[in-house]
């Protein structure tokens, strides 16, 4: 992929055969209604493929198939070492088809090809391989009982799990859900976002090719409000794992309560603080302040959208970040030189434009960007945008914009920086930049978020859990901790004569 040009990628895109049917019981199938929806590329608004619109009847069929696969034990009762073999083979097949999948993700989500081929696809393969390789190394427990007893504490799969994922990291979040849920022996029904169903559908076929038994994995494209809701309310689904907005996450908790109390784990929104002290490496901090917000066009749950800067350096530092923001001017995602692509659709672009207006009305200083660009492209492109002189009470500091908009807030000392950082309904991620280990560590410890970087942003890999405090969710993706979301603990107490 390294030497490919925009021309190479464009001609490969033109030659792609795109699968848009649902994946049920090991086969691609049309929706029972026959209904389809044309999905389009956010880069230029052009049609990509007709995708099945699954309804409640498809969901019910998928649940029956998944339940039957689970009860048969064809996967759940398979030796963990054999499940590992299948998952590792699946990861390898994803790598073997890396360019095709990277291209699909680029076209479907508008993500730069450099990101999908260098980030999303390898990350998905790594996630599946890591979970597969881990699963035959997890031991259950024997409890510390009196000598006449033996108590086993076992970890068992939930049964049938529904996974509902968003459009901003379609492939990565799909892998974060599928790898641990399948590794632990569940049968799974995945509902991709309506905007971005293509890579999930593609890798489902590869899972079969890798040896995943029929019925263990279903992928159903369709609308969240009907299909997603039906899955969340279903009486025969045991677990629900979700990545998406806090608003929908709250509904899903209610659906679980209204139905069968299915185990429900949520990865939700954020308004993450990125705190910069005067004694930090400012060059590096400025580069990462821009990465933290403009990567993926700010359509990132962990985006460091509140840049909280020590008063004495704020003006100088903002100038450095403005200079960095120029590296993030959007472009055609098929161009390997592009760092930022379009917003996912016109609706998201409008949301960003509305918040830019709100920021100005609230009295913040617009110091960079603020406009839609590439108007003739057919896509929804927005400049990297920076507001200075933001108060943490303003809407642009409190609400998740999900676009390339940074709010810069000043602070006088560490105590105030922490107070501002924690004054949010969210608690997903954050970072602190300082060359004083005492300051950095104390601030990192005091900020109430699931992941905190010290002198980095977006740090982490498969070995560490990922998830939120407060209204950023519960449960954890990645690492061995993800297995907890997809398993029940069972005690077997034996009395010996
Ligand atoms: P969203 O609107 O909540 O949608 C997410 C998924 O839920 C989509 O598949 C959607 O289907 C479905 N859905 C919508 N309404 C539903 C309902 N009533 N019942 C069941 N399912 C429903 O979120 P989004 O706009 O796609 O994604 C952006 C959000 O995701 C942001 O808030 C972001 O912070 C969050 N996010 C969080 C993380 C994390 O790990 N914490 C990671 C990435 C993104 P349709 O596509 O058909 O509407």
Write the DSSP string, 182-228. HHTT-EEEEE--TT--HHHHHHHHHHHHHTPPTTSEEE----IIIII
Quick: pLDDT tens for 104-160.
999 999 999 999 999 999 999 999 999 999 999 999 999 999 999 999 999 999 999
Q: How far is the CA of 245 from the centre of ligand 1 (A)?
A: 5
DSSP letter at 384 equals -
Cα–Cα distance, 438 to 259 (Å, whole number) = 49
The pair phi, psi for residue 381, each rounded to 5°, is -100, 140
From start to end of 353-421, where are the E strands? 365-368, 372-373, 381-382, 385-388, 405-411
Question: What pLDDT score was predicted for residue 151?
Answer: 98
263-267 and 239-243: which strand pairing?
parallel
Q: Residue 418 pLDDT more than 90? A: yes
* pLDDT number for residue 417: 98
Q: Residue 248: CB within 6 Å of ligand 1?
A: yes
Ligand 1 atom showing the smallest separation from residue 249 Cα: 3
Q: What is the CATH code of the structural domain delimited by 6-268+472-491?
A: 3.40.605.10
Band (pLDDT 50/70/90 cuts) for residue 75 is: very high
Any atom of ligand 1 within 6 Å of the Cβ of 164: yes
Query: Is 42 close to ligand 1, i.e. is its CB under 6 Å away?
Result: no
Question: Could you tell me if 199 and 101 are in contact, meaning their C-beta atoms sit under 8 angstroms apart?
Answer: yes
- Residue 2's pLDDT band, with cuts at 50, 70 and 90, is low
pLDDT at residue 1 is higher than 60:
no
pLDDT score, position 214? 98
Q: Does the domain formed by 273-461 have CATH 3.40.309.10?
A: yes
Interval 197-214: pLDDT, tens: 999 999 999 999 999 999
Portion of the chain with pLDDT greater than 90, in percent: 99
Q: Which residues of 155-180 are buried (b: 16+ CB within 10 A; e: fewer)?
A: bebbbbbbbbbbbbbbbbbbbbbbbb
Give the whole-number percent of the chain exceeding pLDDT 70.
Answer: 100
**Average pLDDT value for residue range 362-389:** 97
298 lines ligand 1 (CB under 6 A): no
pLDDT of residue 74: 98
The two structure tokens encoding residue 476? 């954890």
> Distance between CA 494 and CA 179 in Å, rounded?
33
CA 156 – ligand 1 centroid, Å = 28
Structure tokens, 409: 């807030």
At residue 146, the pLDDT reads: 97
Partner residues linked to 429 by β-bridges? 451
Ligand 1 and 269: CB distance under 6 A: yes
pLDDT at 47: 95
E strand or H helix at 483: helix 482-485
Mean pLDDT of all residues in 53-65: 98
Residue 488, SS3 per DSSP:
strand
Question: For ligand 1, what atom is nearest to the CA of residue 167?
Answer: 26
Q: Each residue of 168-197: pLDDT tens digit?
A: 999 999 999 999 999 999 999 999 999 999
Using the predicted structure, report yes or no on whether residue 243 has a pLDDT greater than 60: yes
Tell me 212's DSSP state.
P
DSSP string computed for 95-137: HHTHHHHHHHHHHHH---HHHIIIIIHHHHHHHHHHHHHHHTT
Q: Do you know the residue count of the chain? A: 497
Return the structure tokens found at 196: 């971005």
Q: Examine the residue annotation and report whether 301 is marked as an active-site residue of this protein.
A: yes
Mutate to test the pocket of ligand 1, among 120, 198, 224, 259 (most ligand atoms within 8 A of CB): 224
Give, using CA atoms, the residue closest to atom 8 of ligand 1: 193
Catalytic (active site) residue 283? no
| Per-residue pLDDT tens digits for 270-284 | 999 999 999 999 999
Q: Is the pLDDT assigned to residue 494 strictly greater than 60? A: yes
Q: How far apart are the first and last CA of the chain?
A: 66
Of the candidates 122, 105, 91, the residue with the CA atom closest to the CA atom of residue 9: 105
Per domain, the residue ranges of the chain are 6-268+472-491, 273-461
By alpha-carbon position, which residue is closest to atom 39 of ligand 1? 267
DSSP state of 477: B
Considering the entire predicted model, what is its pTM?
A: 0.98
123-143 burial, b at 16+ Cβ within 10 Å, e below that, comes to bbbbbbbbbbebbeeeeeeee
54, 301, 310, 383: the active-site residue: 301
Cα four-point dihedral sign 58, 64, 69, 70: positive
Tell me if 304 CB under 6 Å of ligand 1: no
Per-residue pLDDT, 3: 83
Contacts of 496 (CB under 8 A, 6+ apart): 148, 149, 150
Looking at 267, 310, 383, 400, which residue is catalytic? 267
Mean pLDDT of the chain: 98
């Amino acid at each position: 992929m390294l030497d490919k040009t925009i021309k190479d990628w464009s001609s490969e895109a033109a030659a792609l055969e795109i699968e848009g049917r649902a994946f049920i019981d090991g086969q691609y199938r049309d929706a029972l209604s026959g209904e389809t929806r044309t999905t389009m590329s956010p880069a230029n608004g052009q049609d990509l493929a007709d995708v099945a619109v699954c309804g409640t009847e498809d969901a019910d069929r998928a649940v029956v198939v998944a339940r039957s696969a689970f009860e048969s034990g064809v996967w759940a009762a398979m030796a963990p070492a054999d499940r590992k073999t299948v998952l590792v083979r699946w990861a390898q097949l994803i790598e073997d088809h890396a360019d095709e999948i990277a291209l699909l993700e680029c076209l479907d989500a508008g993500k730069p090809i450099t990101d999908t081929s260098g980030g999303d696809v390898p990350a998905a393969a790594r996630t599946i391989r890591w979970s597969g390789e881990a699963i035959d190394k997890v031991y259950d427990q024997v409890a510390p009982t009196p000598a006449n007893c033996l108590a086993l504490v076992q970890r068992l799969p939930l049964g049938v799990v529904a996974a509902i994922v968003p459009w901003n990291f379609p492939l990565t979040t799909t892998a974060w859900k599928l790898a641990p849920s399948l590794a632990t022996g569940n049968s799974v029904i995945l509902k991709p976002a309506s905007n971005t169903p293509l890579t999930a559908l593609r890798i489902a076929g590869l899972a079969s090719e890798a040896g995943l038994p029929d019925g263990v994995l279903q992928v159903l494209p369709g609308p969240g409000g009907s299909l997603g809701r039906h899955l969340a309310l279903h009486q025969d689904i045991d677990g629900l794992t979700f990545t998406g907005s806090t608003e929908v996450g709250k509904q899903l908790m209610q659906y679980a309560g209204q139905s069968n109390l299915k185990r429900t784990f949520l990865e939700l929104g954020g308004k993450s603080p990125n705190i910069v002290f005067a004694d930090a490496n400012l060059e590096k901090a400025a580069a990462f302040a821009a990465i933290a917000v403009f990567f993926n066009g700010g359509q990132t749950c962990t985006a460091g959208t509140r840049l909280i800067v020590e008063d004495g350096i704020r003006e100088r530092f903002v100038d450095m970040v403005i200079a960095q923001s120029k590296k993030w001017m959007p472009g055609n995602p098929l161009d390997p030189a592009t760092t930022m692509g379009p917003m996912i659709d016109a609706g998201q672009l409008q949301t960003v434009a509305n918040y830019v207006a709100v920021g100005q009305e609230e009295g913040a200083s617009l110091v960079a960007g603020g406009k839609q660009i590439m108007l003739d492209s057919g896509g929804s492109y927005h400049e990297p945008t920076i507001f200075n002189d933001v108060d943490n009470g303003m809407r642009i500091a409190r609400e998740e914009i999900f676009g390339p908009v940074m709010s810069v807030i000043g602070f006088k000392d560490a105590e105030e920086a922490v107070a501002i950082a924690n004054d949010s309904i969210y608690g997903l991620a954050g970072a602190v930049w300082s060359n004083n280990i005492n300051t950095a560590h104390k601030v990192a410890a005091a900020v109430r978020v699931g992941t905190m970087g010290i002198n980095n942003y977006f740090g982490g890999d498969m070995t560490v859990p990922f998830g939120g405090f407060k209204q950023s969710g519960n449960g954890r993706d990645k690492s061995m901790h993800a297995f907890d979301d997809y398993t029940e603990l069972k005690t077997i107490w034996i009395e010996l004569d």
